[in-house]
Amino acid sequence: MLAYSGGADSTFLLKVARDVLGKKILAVTATSTLFPKEELIFAKKMAKTLGARHKIMKIAVLKNKKFTLNPVNRCYFCKKELFSHFKKIAKKFKLKFVLDGSNATDKKDFRPGSQAKRELRIRSPLQEAGIGKEDVRKLSKRLRLITWNKPALSCLASRVAYGIKITPRLLRGINILEVQLQHLGFKQVRLRHYNHLCRIEVFKDDLPAVIRKSSLILDRFKKFGYHFVTVDLEGYRCGSMNIAIKNQHAR
């Protein structure tokens, strides 16, 4: 059974698994306020295109206070609940292994959810094979998967600075604003939330366009409640919320 998000990694893994295992592979997608609804629609279409068995599973991790209080190890509590449900589904369908799409590059980031994966014995074939993000993109392009250059995905909670309570309203607002930025022509965007201040991340090449469209962006963002709207001059990078934590560990 594969935890299928519809992203580049899990789509590549599902394609290979479907080619090798046929109907023996089951893709399961979790649905929650944590994930943009657009991604669920995409995952359904992609699984159908690949001819894979696909099921949708609802999770209610926002009822877990250990998660919503947003500690540094927030991801652990989410993954623990998520993969515990996946294990139950696998048992129901008499499937021996539960897989996820973590790749070798992910090991470089701060990912407390990996502990939950180890505890529940979740397998990560891409990591085990030493396949990183760029490998996934190159191989996906060779297989003619439309996800080969799909922007990186992550749950909406990863946009919220540690220690700030996570609520459904906050996540929905972040999702709406990110979609609006995409509609303005920015392919890869992240909105980092710090209460009344936010930090926008786009590709470096798109930074001039952010300034040109700043009046429109400010109008929309301030209506949501932000007093200060900032742009990160380093541009988009995966896991930027964890930089301070990694620096602390380095010391």
Mean of pLDDT values over 85-103:
95
Using the predicted structure, report yes or no on whether residue 134 has a pLDDT greater than 50.
Answer: yes
Q: Tell me if residue 229 falls in helix, strand or coil.
A: strand
pLDDT, residue 247, reads: 52
Q: Summarize the chain as % helix, strand, coil (round to 5).
A: 55, 15, 30
pLDDT, residue 91, reads: 95
Tell me the two tokens of residue 93: 């369908």
Domain with CATH 3.30.70.2210 in the chain: 156-243
Give the confidence band of 250 by pLDDT, cuts at 50, 70, 90. Answer: very low
Crossing angle, helix 133-142 and helix 8-21, to 10 degrees? Answer: 50
Say which residue the tokens 């394609």 belong to.
Answer: 15
Domain with CATH 3.40.50.620 in the chain: 2-149
- CA-only gyration radius of the chain, Å: 18
Q: For residues 42 and 54, give the distance between their C-alpha atoms in angstroms, rounded to a whole number.
A: 12
Calculate the dihedral angle through the C-alpha atoms of 8, 11, 12, 16, rounding to the nearest 10 degrees.
180
Tens of pLDDT, residue by residue over 18-44, are 999 999 999 999 999 999 888 999 999
Q: For residues 190 and 240, give the distance between their C-alpha atoms in angstroms, rounded to a whole number.
A: 10
Q: For residues 106 and 121, give the distance between their C-alpha atoms in angstroms, rounded to a whole number.
A: 18
Question: What is the CATH code of the structural domain delimited by 156-243?
Answer: 3.30.70.2210
pLDDT, residue 122, reads: 97
Using the predicted structure, report yes or no on whether residue 138 has a pLDDT greater than 60.
Answer: yes
Q: Output DSSP code: residue 237.
A: -
Q: Which residues pair with 27 in a beta bridge?
A: 2, 54
pLDDT, residue 108, reads: 82
Using the predicted structure, report yes or no on whether residue 213 has a pLDDT greater than 90.
Answer: yes
Mean of pLDDT values over 135-151:
96
Using the predicted structure, report yes or no on whether residue 249 has a pLDDT greater than 50.
Answer: no
Tell me the two tokens of residue 63: 């009822």
Mean of pLDDT values over 206-212:
95
Using the predicted structure, report yes or no on whether residue 208 has a pLDDT greater than 80.
Answer: yes
Helix (H) or strand (E) holding 2: strand 2-3
Q: For residues 124 and 115, give the distance between their C-alpha atoms in angstroms, rounded to a whole number.
A: 13
Q: Tell me if residue 160 falls in helix, strand or coil.
A: strand
Nearest by Cα to 22 from 54, 48, 52, 56: 52
Using the predicted structure, report yes or no on whether residue 203 has a pLDDT greater than 90.
Answer: yes
CATH class assigned to 2-149: alpha beta
The total of other beta-carbon atoms located within 10 Å of residue 209's CB is 14
Residue partners of 160: CB distance under 8 A and separation at least 6 = 70, 166, 170, 174, 193
Q: Output DSSP code: residue 96.
A: S
Q: Specify the pTM.
A: 0.86
Q: Which residues pair with 31 in a beta bridge?
A: 58
